[in-house]
């Protein structure tokens, strides 16, 4: 099956490709997708899938991820990228200095093809907490650019930061990988 992934982020493309079985040929396609202004991550992903499918007219997936702080009613929601650009790591550290550092990643993968009336979304959450103990260490600029929250996030049950996981460890617990697994199970059951 040929499946398109609408993304301009090569790191996301590589991660998603590494999670695809050999019965899926994944093609990453850079498409300008408008992002609906809402705090509902599923709605954002759903709308992106509709637009991507209308442009490509081929089976397509889109990915959207949010980062949530428990102490702040799940702020910054899907706006995590913009908040990080605005306040940086020092700002995040100040946010959680006196409150719970509990946080989570949420990934939504939405799929659309010509046999569906609307996109189908697959969601996975990865709980953990913020940990700034590693911020004085040298940081790979690629990680900082593409996955900035990995630098300060420690998955629940782990003693190390997410950025310290190798590729196999990441695949085993990644919120995106788990959402993709749900998509693959659904595609297999539908015999798409």
What CATH code is carried by the domain that includes residue 115?
A: 3.90.950.10
> Which residue among the candidates 14, 40, 63, 64 is catalytic per the annotation?
64
Closest Cα partner for 16 from 174, 151, 162, 146?
Answer: 174
- 113-162 pLDDT per residue, tens: 999 999 999 999 999 999 988 776 666 665 555 477 888 899 999 999 88
- 158-192 pLDDT per residue, tens: 999 888 888 888 888 889 999 999 999 999 998 76
Structural domain harbouring 138 = 2-190
Among this protein's residues, is 63 annotated catalytic? no
For the chain, the domain total comes to: 1
Those residues whose C-beta lies under 8 Å from the C-beta of residue 109, and which sit 6 or more positions away, are: 45, 61, 62, 63, 121, 122, 176, 179, 180, 182, 183
pTM over 0.95: no
- 5-34 pLDDT per residue, tens: 999 888 889 989 999 999 999 999 999 888
């Amino acid at each position: 099956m040929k499946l398109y992934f609408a993304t301009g982020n090569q790191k996301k493309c590589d991660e998603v490709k590494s999670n695809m079985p050999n019965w899926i040929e994944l093609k990453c396609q850079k498409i300008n997708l408008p992002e609906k202004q809402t705090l509902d991550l599923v709605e954002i992903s759903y709308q992106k899938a509709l637009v991507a499918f209308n442009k490509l007219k081929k089976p397509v997936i889109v990915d959207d991820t949010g980062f949530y702080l428990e102490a702040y009613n799940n702020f910054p929601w899907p706006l995590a990228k913009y908040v990080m650009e605005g306040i940086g790591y020092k700002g995040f550290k100040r946010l959680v200095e006196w409150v719970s550092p509990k946080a989570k990643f949420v990934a939504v993968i939405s799929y659309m093809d010509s046999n569906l009336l609307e996109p189908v979304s697959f969601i996975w959450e990865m709980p953990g907490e913020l940990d700034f103990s590693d911020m004085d260490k040298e940081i790979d600029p690629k990680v900082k650019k593409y996955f900035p929250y990995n630098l300060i996030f420690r998955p629940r049950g782990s003693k190390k930061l997410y950025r310290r996981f190798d590729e196999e460890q990441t695949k085993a617990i990644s919120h995106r990988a788990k959402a993709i697994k749900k998509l693959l199970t659904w595609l297999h059951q539908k015999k798409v």
